[in-house]
Amino acid sequence: MACVGGKPEDAAAVLRKTADAEDILGKHPVSPGALMPVREQLGGLLLELGQPGEAQKEFEAELKIYPGRFRGLLGAAQSAEKAGDMDGARRYYAKLAAQTGKAGDSPSELSKSKN
């Protein structure tokens, strides 16, 4: 993989092209969808590369196709927080809390729940 080979920009470009292709397919109304959408993988990579604003955009795009997805919401929350978008971070953490029934938990407790 390009990222393992020390070329994270190439890896992001490949994931972006693949995510765009996946978006065209959309989610079939009956099927459960992708195990891990490519756009979610791209968001994770961008977050690791220190690009939280771009990562947030990718997670938000993924959530339009797969609304309520735990890892998508968590990625969007973490990205927003790192990008300084505290309103966005609170909004996504609140959705996570509602989804998990852990309304009193802190964001760090919610991120531990994903494992």
Q: Is 58 buried (19+), middle (13-18) or exposed (0-12) by CB count in 10 A?
A: buried
Give, for all 115 residues of the chain, the pLDDT tens digit. Answer: 445 567 777 778 777 777 777 766 665 555 556 678 888 989 999 999 999 999 999 999 999 988 899 999 999 999 999 999 999 999 999 999 998 886 655 565 555 554 4
Query: Homologous superfamily of 8-26+34-113 in CATH?
Result: Tetratricopeptide repeat domain (1.25.40.10)
Instruction: Determine the Cα–Cα distance for residues 52 and 32; give it in Å rounded to an integer.
Output: 28
Phi, psi for 48 (deg, rounded to 5): -65, -30
Does this model's pTM top 0.85? no
Can you give the residue ranges of every domain in the chain? Answer: 8-26+34-113
